[in-house]
Structure 1
């Protein structure tokens, strides 16, 4: 039986690296909604065996990012505007629970102001990227910002659930945002950038203000994606930006390594 550092651990690590890499390909718009691929194609792309690839694809399917297609492989899931609306609602409910806990005056639960310093730095970078319209950098810092912020709550299950929801909501929004830039649209000044204001409200333990900020964030995001999906912000109809790939050449382009990071490059 393999020891704690044996093949089982190595395979698990490789599986997670592949899952993270594929997730990043979806967030970057290089794997588009409706695009299909097989386990063999991904394994050949990464130069690994089929087993960790299959496990990674099954994990991503469980997260709602991929669909299993019988006898054909996997397909990037195509989300609807209703999906996005539901994700935002769920995110808001979880955020409210976290904010109430972070804002409590209880000595047992109170989070010191110093704990927010690192989160605020992430927020500053996210806000800077949003203002510049740099979607790739924004996604990376935004995911890290919310991951660190939710970790202050002290409940790993809740933090992980919120992270999954935020990844799913970005995956849902990315095709519309990427398509807008491909049409020559400018995202500068159109992406939410009040991360530091939210941190400041929580530092003051002002849960009501934090709730209002996130409510505005969700309304802003829904309005933007709805307008892009309807074609009112760029003149094109909604739908995937590209059809299924004709082969593995349109799939992921980088091989995962031990240094592969979770989340988009920032």
Structure 2
């Protein structure tokens, strides 16, 4: 059973359960918590210097997101994502995000699209700084905020769930090979095409972006 490196104490500035869940997601991204490994709530609680209850609650939150699965009398196993899963997640995202990109390009207010520029720049900056947690958070905000301009909350929730289930795969390897930056820069390219009102080119860019991400996963 693996263990986390000793971390800074959890504070009382926000709900303890949420803090632990965020810290565990960070550990998943960094590779401290590895796919297939089983971790106990008491063991993780010892690493955090807190009781086991908020850790167990946080792990249940991650289980609902599909990131871990309960193992009876042992703890939680980090979910493994295989190639078939990744292909299916990517296919669904292509079916949703590509046509929605075209629709949003034709209907969104220019000011709403411009508001995404700082987020796109944040994605690139995080990639250059090797800030994987910052990269994921900014990337999530960009894609979900963009989809939100279509006004369909259920659609945004669906894509958000797909991202949670696949976002951890291969990210550290991409960063180490310097391949995260080109993917990050595609967000700025997409935004410029949408601001220019070129729906067809924007759809093509989104198709290329999602396909690019999937091909990079396959090389990890």
User: Distance in 1 between the 2:208 and 2:102 partners?
Assistant: 18
Contact persistence 1:100–1:207 (CA under 8 A): yes
Q: Tell whether the 8 Å contact from 1:33 to 1:78 is kept in structure 2 after alignment.
A: yes
Q: 2:204 aligns with which of 208, 212, 222?
A: 212
Alignment of 1:113-128 (within 5 A): 113-128=110-125
Does structure 1 conserve the Cα–Cα contact (< 8 Å) formed by 2:102 and 2:202? no
Pair 1:14-2:16 in alignment? yes
Contact residue 120 and residue 196 of structure 1 kept, 8 A:
yes
Q: Structure 1: how far apart are the matches of 2:219 and 2:116?
A: 31
**Structure 1 unaligned blocks of 5 or more:** 1-9, 105-109, 229-266
Distance in 1 between the 2:16 and 2:103 partners?
36
Q: Which runs of 4+ in 1 moved over 6 A?
A: none
Question: Does the alignment pair 1:69 with 2:75?
Answer: no
Equivalent residue for 2:215?
223
Residue equivalent to 1:248:
none
Q: 1:115-264 counterparts in 2 under 5 A?
A: 115-130=112-127, 132=128, 134=130, 136=132, 137-174=134-171, 176-177=173-174, 181=176, 185-187=177-179, 191-228=183-220
Q: How far apart in 1 are the matches of 2:168 and 2:117?
A: 24
- Structure possessing the higher radius of gyration over alpha carbons: 1
Q: CA deviation at 1:195?
A: 0.5
Which structure carries more relative contact order (alpha carbon 8 Å, separation 6+)? 1
1:52 to 54, 61, 69: 54
8 Å Cα contact 1:67/1:75 also seen in 2:
yes
Asked if residue 85 in structure 1 is aligned to residue 87 in structure 2, the reply is: yes
TM-score (norm 1): 0.67
Q: Secondary structure at the match of 1:32?
A: coil
- What is the TM-score of this pair, normalised by structure 2? 0.80
Change (3 A) 1:206 1:187: closer
- More helix by percentage: 2
Unmatched tracts of structure 2, length 5 or more: 1-11
Q: Indicate conservation of the 8 Å contact 2:93/2:159, yes or no.
A: yes
Equivalent-residue separation in structure 2 for 1:198 and 1:42 (angstroms): 41
Superposed CA RMSD: 2.7
